[in-house]
Amino acid sequence: MSSRKRDQHTHANEQIRDNDELPWAILYYLTPEGSAPALEFLDTCPSAIDAQFAAVLDAVAAAPPPRFSGGGKWEAMHGIMGGWYEIRLTGPRREQFRLFCLLENGTSEEITKRGLLRPAIAVITGMRKPWRTTFSDRDYKRVRDLGAEHQQNYPRRLAT
């Protein structure tokens, strides 16, 4: 998916926040140094995988997340990654692609404090791995550290 298409997601939170029928916004975390790990990851993915990530994000946002069943592609994580969601895709030669997300939901006051206009899916970063391998604890710690940094910012720092 082109960066221009992703930018449309970034600004999707410009509608009224209290309408449960509106899709959630899709936002991309921006580091203090100005990089967007998820967008950088997506730029390295095969175009078909990039497009599939966009389709899953759009479907989850439209459901929205509390009502989305997952279908094996959107999954709540467990254990040390509790509170996180991942999009799970398989690419050429069964390579595994993962996109790690946090939900930006809560009361209207909490959402406003974060600088958002409505609930959102915060896309934090992504990783890939060969088939039948696992990510290390260090890999998951890096993801959690990025998420913690994202959650500490008021208002949220977002890629545009």
120-151 per-position pLDDT tens digit: 999 999 999 999 999 999 999 999 999 999 99
| Per-residue confidence (pLDDT) for residue 61, from 0 to 100 | 94
How far are the Cα atoms of 31, 52, 110 from residue 55, in angstroms, in the given order?
A: 25, 5, 28
The mean per-residue pLDDT over the stretch 76-86 comes to 95
Residue 90 has pLDDT above 90, yes or no: yes
The mean per-residue pLDDT over the stretch 79-89 comes to 96
Domain residue extents for the chain: 23-129+138-151
Torsion region of 3: left, alpha or beta (phi above 0 gives left; psi -120 to 50 gives alpha): alpha
How far are the Cα atoms of 24, 71, 101 from residue 63, in angstroms, in the given order?
A: 8, 12, 16
| Per-residue confidence (pLDDT) for residue 20, from 0 to 100 | 56
Residue 13 has pLDDT above 70, yes or no: no
The mean per-residue pLDDT over the stretch 32-44 comes to 97
- Alpha-carbon Rg of the chain, whole angstroms? 15
Least confident of 30-44, 48-62, 67-81, 124-138: 67-81
92-101 per-position pLDDT tens digit: 999 999 999 9
pTM of the model: 0.87
pLDDT level of residue 69 (50, 70, 90 thresholds): confident
Query: What angle in degrees, to the nearest 10, is found between the helix axes of 47-62 and 37-44?
Result: 130
The mean per-residue pLDDT over the stretch 9-36 comes to 72
Residue 14 has pLDDT above 70, yes or no: no
